């Protein structure tokens, strides 16, 4: 269901009781944390297992010439590692009784385990700082590093065909061409001093681009050398194609989370913690939810509203809590936006190319500071 508030100020509409909403959200959070247990860990193992099976299928067929089975298997495996990094990196399993150390934020993708748990274009610590600290603390604000409308203002001056071409190129390369640089720059500059171009470029080559390229496009194909040069070449081609598909997949489910003409962009900081929670709802969108397969394919990022209210809970908990969050939003008159990922991607694309703008009338529409 897609709920869109009136675009005009409505002086007769009562202000949202943000404090009461916040109290109920905190009560719900307490119940969630008290309910965590073996089911959450079994679900995590299940989701991780699906990714491992996809990777195994991809590896088993990657040497047989360029083929869609290998590309899809390798890609799903890589997207699964992204999903795990996102939810484990948010400390989603740290409080679950009996959790294995490897599934905690203290161990997962730390140090040498980066190349086991999340061998991606980004430095895990840099992603955690940019995403967990900056993005979640400033969602939809000027200090949000992932604010698409602001980040693409320069694109709007380009000829129209060039804007759409740039969107396509970004979608196919964004983990390396955009996110690696953005997260690394934010991490290096967390002390208040932005990195120099030389420092940033050096770090990107040493810790992002070269390690990933050597692993996925060098070491992985060479591991098939006993099968001959054709096998090595086939694995290289399949691995590169899988990476493009992983970019397209993750861009599809990550990009639209906070972009659209029915989502809000905010000026300044929230006036209270309660208002911060209201902002997380009116500045985020869900996709279709319910069912492990659909949620897995959307990397459990389809629960974006719930995730921004409760960033540190397990994936299974989002399935349990989503109906209650939706009901609370309806109770307090807070718009709860939910549409298919394809419709949301189209809305995000229109923001990207400058055809639409995000809303800035939160104060008038919802009775909170905008």
6 pLDDT above the threshold of 80: no
170 pLDDT above the threshold of 70: yes
Compute the average pLDDT of residues 147-161.
96
Instruction: Answer whether 337's CB lies under 8 Å from 4's CB.
Output: yes
The span from the CA of 366 to the CA of 333, in Å, is 8
Predicted local distance difference test score (pLDDT) of residue 191: 87
| Beta carbons within 10 angstroms of residue 31's beta carbon | 11
2 pLDDT above the threshold of 50: no
pLDDT in tens, 215-246: 999 999 999 999 999 999 999 999 999 999 99
274 pLDDT above the threshold of 70: yes
- How does residue 367 score in pLDDT terms, banded at 50, 70 and 90? low
**DSSP letters along 291-308, please?**
SHHHHHHTTTGGGHHHHH
Compute the average pLDDT of residues 17-33.
97
- How does residue 291 score in pLDDT terms, banded at 50, 70 and 90? very high
Where are the chain's structural domains? 18-366
- Can you read off the two tokens belonging to residue 178? 């955009």
Compute the average pLDDT of residues 306-324.
98
Predicted local distance difference test score (pLDDT) of residue 365: 64
- How does residue 16 score in pLDDT terms, banded at 50, 70 and 90? confident
Half-sphere exposure (Cβ direction) of 305: Cα atoms closer than 13 Å: 28
Predicted local distance difference test score (pLDDT) of residue 182: 97
CA-to-CA dists, residue 166 to 174, 200, 289, angstroms: 11, 23, 30
pLDDT in tens, 55-99: 999 999 999 999 999 999 999 999 999 999 999 999 999 999 999
pLDDT in tens, 177-220: 999 999 999 999 998 899 999 999 999 999 999 999 999 999 99
Instruction: Answer whether 315's CB lies under 8 Å from 367's CB.
Output: no
Q: Which of 38-47, 167-176, 261-270 is least confident?
A: 261-270
* Cα 249–Cα 96–Cα 320 angle in degrees, nearest 5: 60
- How does residue 362 score in pLDDT terms, banded at 50, 70 and 90? confident
pLDDT in tens, 27-44: 999 999 999 999 999 999
Predicted local distance difference test score (pLDDT) of residue 15: 80
* Token pair 């195994």 in the structure block, residue: 56
279 pLDDT above the threshold of 90: yes
- How does residue 14 score in pLDDT terms, banded at 50, 70 and 90? low
Average pLDDT, the chain: 94
Instruction: Answer whether 302's CB lies under 8 Å from 322's CB.
Output: no
- How does residue 13 score in pLDDT terms, banded at 50, 70 and 90? low
Predicted local distance difference test score (pLDDT) of residue 5: 41
Predicted local distance difference test score (pLDDT) of residue 11: 46
pLDDT in tens, 128-144: 999 999 999 999 999 99
Predicted local distance difference test score (pLDDT) of residue 9: 40
Predicted local distance difference test score (pLDDT) of residue 1: 38
286 strand-pairing partners: 338
């Amino acid at each position: 269901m897609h709920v869109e508030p009136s675009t005009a100020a409505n002086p007769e509409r009562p202000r949202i009781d943000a404090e009461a909403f916040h109290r109920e959200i905190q009560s719900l959070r307490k119940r969630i944390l008290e309910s965590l247990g073996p089911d959450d860990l079994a679900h995590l193992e299940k989701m991780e297992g699906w990714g491992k099976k996809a990777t195994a299928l991809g590896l088993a067929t990657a040497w047989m010439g360029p083929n869609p089975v290998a590309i899809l298997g390798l890609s799903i495996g890589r997207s699964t590692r992204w999903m795990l990094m996102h939810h484990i990196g948010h400390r989603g399993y740290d409080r679950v009784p009996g959790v294995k150390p490897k599934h905690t934020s203290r161990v997962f993708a730390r140090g040498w385990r980066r190349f086991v748990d999340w061998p991606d274009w980004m430095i895990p610590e840099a992603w955690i700082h940019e995403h967990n600290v900056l993005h979640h603390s400033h969602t939809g604000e000027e200090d949000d590093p992932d604010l698409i409308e602001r980040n693409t203002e320069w694109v709007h001056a380009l000829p129209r065909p060039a804007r759409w071409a740039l969107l396509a190129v970004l979608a196919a390369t964004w983990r390396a061409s955009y996110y690696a640089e953005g997260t690394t720059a934010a991490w290096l500059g967390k002390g208040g001093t932005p990195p120099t171009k030389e420092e940033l470029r050096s770090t990107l080559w040493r810790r992002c681009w070269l390690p990933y390229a050597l692993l996925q496009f060098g070491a992985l194909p060479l591991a098939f050398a006993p099968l001959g040069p054709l096998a090595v070449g086939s694995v290289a081609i399949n691995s590169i194609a899988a990476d493009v598909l992983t970019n397209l997949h993750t861009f599809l489910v990550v990009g639209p989370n906070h972009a659209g003409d029915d989502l809000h962009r905010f000026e300044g900081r929230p006036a209270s913690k309660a208002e911060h929670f209201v902002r997380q709802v009116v500045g985020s969108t869900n996709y279709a939810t319910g069912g492990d397969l659909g949620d897995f394919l959307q990397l459990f990022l389809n629960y974006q509203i719930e995730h921004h209210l409760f960033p540190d809970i397990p994936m299974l908990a989002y399935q349990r809590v989503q109906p209650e969050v939706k009901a609370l939003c309806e109770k307090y008159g807070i718009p709860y936006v939910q549409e298919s990922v394809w419709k949301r991607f189209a809305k995000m694309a229109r923001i990207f190319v400058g055809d639409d703008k995000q809303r800035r009338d939160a104060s008038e529409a919802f009775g909170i500071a905008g």
